[in-house]
Amino acid sequence: MSALSNLLIPAVLFFALGLFARAIKSDLRVPPDLAKVLSIYLLMAIGLHGGYALGKADLATAFNSVLWAIILGFALPLIGYGLLLVTRKVDRMNAAAIAAHYGSVSAGTFLTAIAYLDNLGISYESYPVIMLAVMESPAIIVGLLLASWSRQRLGITANGGGAAVLQQGGMGNGQLGSLLHEAFTNGSVILLIGSMIIGAVAGPASMEKLSPFIDDIFMGVLCLFLFEMGMEAARRIREFRKVGAVLLVFGIVMPLIGGVIGLLVGGQVLDMSVGGTLLVGVLGASASYIAVPPAMRLAVPEANPSFYLTLSLGITFPFNVIIGIPLYHALAERIVG
């Protein structure tokens, strides 16, 4: 009960309010442009914080964090892809698109975990923020490569309009290069990494002037963001009848697998504190709903968007926010022990 009560903080309660407002069919809405602005602000703020801390951090530890972020970003989609194929209920193209979401990260879940730790007064290292910025691209790359490999196995490819046609050969170097370029230049990745670089090179006096922008209003913006995400999650849950029981189980089991792997990496490999270990666990457990969906929609038109959007936003995100974070906290205490 105590772990659950620790989630009774304004940010999480606003997420619940968004769920409730949508469930009772309220006419309350958040303008789409405002939702984008909130996402940009949050990514910028956590990037600046992480970069400033990185500028004062031990470079060897930072390098290890980046290395393991890349390993997680490549490994988790492969695990998810294998699990989906084992069920024999999901085709290869949908499995590739879904797996990319579960190898990537959810900034909303990460920010909720930070709010959870701040509420308990638990300190944490800055390295998980660096890992957050790094883990987005590898998962997108793996998803695109899995989709390309699946097309080769099926003997098809997608034309510009998304229709399936016979494939005469593998993905061309030009097309693969274009997809890799898209993965590495994704807007969320650029914003996070760019903000981190700015935070790392900026002096303490400059960062102090930014404190009202990135500190004082941060929690208020997070409340607005999670309120909007709650309404969006409720809308996706209504669509879940299109997905089925197998994917429902996957949407809960996969974050548990990724979360445990992340906790072991944070606590045993990177030797972080309980707070830092929890954040790495959350990175492993979360599923992207901002950067990966547009990449998959463009590059894998054969996949059904309602599958991966409903899973990441309607199932895994609420599960992590309500149940996962306190569970990962309890496991982190045992692992760091």
Q: 76-107 pLDDT, tens per residue?
A: 999 999 999 998 888 899 999 999 999 989 88
Q: What pLDDT score was predicted for residue 319?
A: 92
What's the rounded Cα separation, in Å, for the pair 289 and 188? Answer: 11
**Is the confidence at residue 280, as pLDDT, over 80?**
yes
Instruction: Work out the pLDDT band at 266, boundaries 50, 70, 90.
Output: very high
Whether residue 53 contacts residue 202, with contact meaning beta carbons closer than 8 Å, is answered with: no
* Alpha-carbon dihedral sign for residues 214, 216, 219, 225: negative
Residue predicted with more confidence, 206 or 271: 271
Query: With contact defined as beta carbons under 8 Å apart, do 193 and 135 qualify?
Result: no
pLDDT at position 89 is 84
| Beta bridge partner(s), residue 156 | 166
Average pLDDT over residues 262-268: 96
Residue range 242-258, pLDDT digits in tens: 667 889 999 999 999 99
Q: How far apart are CA 224 and CA 161, in angstroms?
A: 36
Residue whose C-alpha is closest to residue 289's, from 140, 104, 49: 104
Give strand ranges (E) for the chain.
156-158, 164-166
Q: Tokens 């959007």 — which residue?
A: 309
pLDDT higher than 90, residue 72? yes
Percent over 90 (pLDDT), the chain:
31
What pLDDT band is residue 240 in, cutting at 50, 70 and 90?
A: low
Report DSSP letters for 48-95, one per residue: HHHHHHHHTS-HHHHHHHHHHHHHHHHHHHHHHHHHHHHHTSS-HHHH
Rg (CA), the chain: 19
pLDDT digits (tens, 9 = 90+) for 109-133: 998 899 899 888 999 998 898 888 7
| 164 DSSP β-pair partners | 158
Report how far apart, in Å, the C-alpha atoms of 288 and of each of 104, 138, 309, 311 are.
5, 12, 9, 10
Could you say which architecture CATH assigns to the domain 2-336? Up-down Bundle (1.20)
Query: Which pLDDT value is given to residue 78?
Result: 96
Give me the pLDDT at residue 251, please. Answer: 95
d(CA 143, CA 134): 16
pLDDT digits (tens, 9 = 90+) for 130-176: 888 788 778 888 888 888 888 877 765 544 444 444 343 444 556 56
Closest CA to 104 of 250, 296, 291: 291
The pLDDT assigned to 243 comes to 65
> Average pLDDT of 301-319?
85
Query: Is residue 286 over pLDDT 80?
Result: yes
- Return the higher-pLDDT residue of 200 and 175: 200
Residues 268 and 201 sit within 8 Å (Cβ to Cβ)? no
Residue 67 burial by Cβ neighbours in a 10 Å radius (0-12, 13-18, 19+): middle
State the pTM of this model.
Answer: 0.77
Both tokens assigned to 315: 């199932």
Read off the amino acid at residue 202.
Answer: A
Does residue 180 carry a pLDDT above 70? Answer: no
Residue 272 has pLDDT above 50, yes or no: yes
User: Which pLDDT value is given to residue 161?
Assistant: 43
Which of 18-32, 140-154, 187-201 is modeled with the greatest confidence? 18-32
Could you tell me if 326 and 119 are in contact, meaning their C-beta atoms sit under 8 angstroms apart? no
Band of pLDDT at residue 264, cut at 50, 70 and 90: very high
82-91 burial code (b ≥16 CB/10 A, e <16): ebbbeeeebe
